[in-house]
Amino acid sequence: MEAAVYLEKILNTLSGSFDIYRPYRIGGREYPAYGYFFSLNEKYVAVRKAQLWAVRTYEHILFMEAEQCTMDTVAEARSLMEGYMEPELVRKKEKYPEKDHMLSDLTVVVLSSRTPAQETIREIERFRYDRSYLFTFRGRSEGHLICVDLEREKVISGRISKQMLNLYSKNFAANKVLQKEEV
Domain coordinates of the chain in residue numbers? 3-182
Question: For the whole prediction, is pTM greater than 0.75?
Answer: yes
pLDDT, tens only, 131-165:
999 988 999 999 999 999 999 999 999 888 888 88
Q: What 3-state class would DSSP assign to 145?
A: strand
21 DSSP β-pair partners: 34
**pLDDT tens digits for 156-171?**
998 888 888 888 988 8
Q: Which long-range contacts (CB under 8 A, 24 or more apart) does 126-134 make?
A: 126/158, 127/74, 127/77, 127/78, 127/158, 128/158, 128/160, 129/78, 129/81, 129/82, 131/86, 133/91, 133/96, 133/97, 133/101, 134/96
